[in-house]
Amino acid sequence: MVSERGLKILHAIVTDYVAAGEPVGSKTLATRYSFGVSAATIRNDMVALEEAELIAAPYTSSGRVPTDKGFRLYVDTLSKLQPLGGARRAAIERFLGEAQDLDEVLGRTVRLLAQLTKQVALVQYPSEQNVFVHHLDLVALTDNKVLCVVITGSGAVEQQLLVLPHAVSAEFVAGVKGRIAAAVVGKDTDTALLAVQKLRAELEKQSSLKEWESLAPLLDGAAQQMRQNRSAKLAIAGTANLSRQQLPGENAAAVLDALEEQVVLLQLFNELAAEQGTVRASIGSENEPYGLAGTAIVATKFGVGENADSRLGVLGPVNMDYAGNMVAVRAVARYLSKILGT
């Protein structure tokens, strides 16, 4: 159980660490903040925070930095978020109101949010209708050329010619078709894409090198068809901000992969964003199942009518400015809903 003063000290550590990116010591806290106690007492409170795994020492004889758990408690105990100032609110409304159509509105939204937060900004919105996979077929045209055919629930037919590095039998193609079709038919294309990726990982482990060289193009072709018929769209801006973020190399690479793939981010958005008006954060290790440990995402819902399930958010390092970013995300989402409702 964290004491009231301990919680205030945690908030101070997070504030200073986010601002400077450096470990925070007890003497600094005693000088900068009015806790009404000595540096020694603050040091004892920091020991309790460290025992609770809310802060940690990055190296010997240093100050302390918040852990993922510490950031989570900080976000969960933020006092009521202060609204943006009148000038900034007016600027947001004017900038978004100048757009001529939905695509321009969303493009302006992510650019504006990236500027406000200095993070990667994302807007997820549904296409005109959910796209489901009605039928998938792999047709062997020659011994190394296969036609991938996908028919969606709307009746649209998509075809793609796949060239294999080795000759394969019609039975081989039929067997692969059966595995893929069982995984995707009847599902929306976003879920189907995840299913193909899971099947791909399973078959790669089970196959010989030569067999895999023929399997991979078939699975990748099916995955590409799912991507081209996505049920949801994702607008992104601010990727250049990644170069200014304190992300380890492997985390930055994972973010770039996720931005390119998009389906992982869409899945995370779906699970993160709650009801409209509520801004939520997913922090560090909470994002590990999506391959994004070491990052944080702040998101909310927006929209009206059939588009009320759209999502808006920012992605950046764990030591992002949660309070400021949550205020910006909430404000932009509100104005975006207002514009879409007019």
Is residue 81 assigned to a domain? no
Average model confidence (pLDDT) across the chain: 86
Global pTM?
0.69
Whichever domain contains 184, its CATH number is 3.30.390
Q: Are residues 296 and 334 in the same domain?
A: yes
Indicate whether 283 and 328 sit together in one domain. yes
Name the domain boundary from 198, 226, 254: 226
- Do 218 and 302 share a domain, yes or no? no
Domain end among 36, 57, 76:
76
Residues 237 and 205 placed together within one structural domain of the fold: no
Q: Model confidence over 76-116: pLDDT tens digits?
A: 998 777 777 777 778 888 888 777 777 788 888 899 999 99
Nearest to 105 by CA among 274, 280, 342, 306: 342
* Domain count of the fold of the chain: 3
Q: Any long-range contacts for 109-114 (C-beta under 8 Å, 24+ apart)?
A: 109/235, 109/312, 109/332, 109/336, 110/235, 110/236, 110/237, 110/238, 111/237, 111/238, 112/332, 113/237, 113/238, 113/312, 113/314, 113/328, 113/329, 113/332, 114/237, 114/238, 114/241, 114/314
Assigned domain for 298 exists: yes
pLDDT in tens, 205-222: 998 988 999 999 999 999
The reply to whether 239 and 102 lie within a common domain is yes
Task: Provide the residue range defining the domain that includes 23.
Answer: 4-76
Whether residue 41 has pLDDT greater than 80: yes
Please determine, for residue 62, whether its predicted confidence score (pLDDT) is greater than 70.
yes
